[in-house]
Amino acid sequence: MDGPDKSAYDALPGYLPGGTSRGRTTEAVTDALREAILDGVMPPNAWLREDELAHAFKVSRTPVREALRRLADEGLAVKTTNHGTVVAPLSLEDILALYVVREDLEGLAARLAAVRCPPGLVDQLDEIGERMKQATKAADVPQLARLNLEWHRALREGAANVYLGRFLGQVEHAVRRLPSSTLSHPGRADEVVCEHGAVVRAIEARDGDEAERQARAHMRRAREIRVAVLLGT
């Protein structure tokens, strides 16, 4: 058996937002499916049947179909002509490749953000950092993961580069597929807050080189932890 439990489909409707107005059905289905994949509800190699998904979401095959195509373009699913779509598997090699690119792009984002240093960005990042400290104390890992995403999103928006933003968005989706958060690793949460702080200070000083260096170091460390976790803590 290489598919998910049948009941996995039952969990899907819960990912759909309540009042979905016309013209956003496809978008809603895309997001719902993506979240389901990222959450691991639909594990790698699980079949994504247009008919079953349409039935589960109570929509027709058309929006489901378009959603599957988008997810395939994003690399989260793999389409086989005339046969079906599966959730894309994630090899260790892929994960390493991901972090290599991510180190580069996050470094660039930090550099650009430092050079531009748009008003409010430093405060915004610091505020998220503060909330992350609180979440660390409370050992609230899901909240930490959310805030971490928010921090990185704020950083790349501060970089104000549409292409960089798009690529980092795709990287974020790929990263979120990785099993469990590295933030649950003992002591990692404190480290992350600290490393984020180093980046923010460099941005505040408008030191592009230093910001890039710190952001890259942050990502290298993240990769190390990730590999450690994957290879059995």
Partner DNA sequence: CGCATCCAGATTGCATACAATATCTGGGCG
Partner DNA sequence: CGCCCAGATATTGTATGCAATCTGGATGCG
Contacts with DNA by CB under 7 A lie at: 21-26, 48-51, 59-63, 65, 79-85
| Residue span 91-130 as binding mask against a second copy, x where in contact by CB under 8 A, dash where not | ---x--xx-xx--xx--x---x------------------
Q: How many CB atoms lie within 10 A of CB 163?
A: 7
- Is 51 a residue that touches a second copy (CB under 8 A)? no
Q: Minimum Å distance from CB 48 to DNA?
A: 6
Please say whether the beta carbons of 218 and 155 come within 8 A. Answer: no
* Residue recorded with tokens 């998220």: 128
Helices (H), the chain: 8-11, 25-38, 50-57, 61-74, 92-116, 121-137, 141-159, 162-176, 188-204, 208-230
In the bound state with DNA, the residue whose beta carbon lies nearer, of 61 and 220, is 61
Q: Minimum Å distance from CB 47 to DNA?
A: 7
CA-CA distance, 87 to 210, in Å (whole number)? 39
Helix (H) or strand (E) holding 4: none
State the binding partner of 63 from DNA, a second copy, none, CB within 5 to 8 A by kind: DNA
3-class secondary-structure state, position 76: coil
In this chain, which of 10, 166, 205, 228 binds a second copy, going by CB under 8 A? 166
Amino acid present at 118: P
State the binding partner of 162 from DNA, a second copy, none, CB within 5 to 8 A by kind: a second copy
Q: Which residues bind a second copy (CB under 8 A)?
A: 23-24, 65-66, 69-70, 73, 75, 81-82, 94, 97-98, 100-101, 104-105, 108, 112, 161-164, 166-167, 170-171, 174
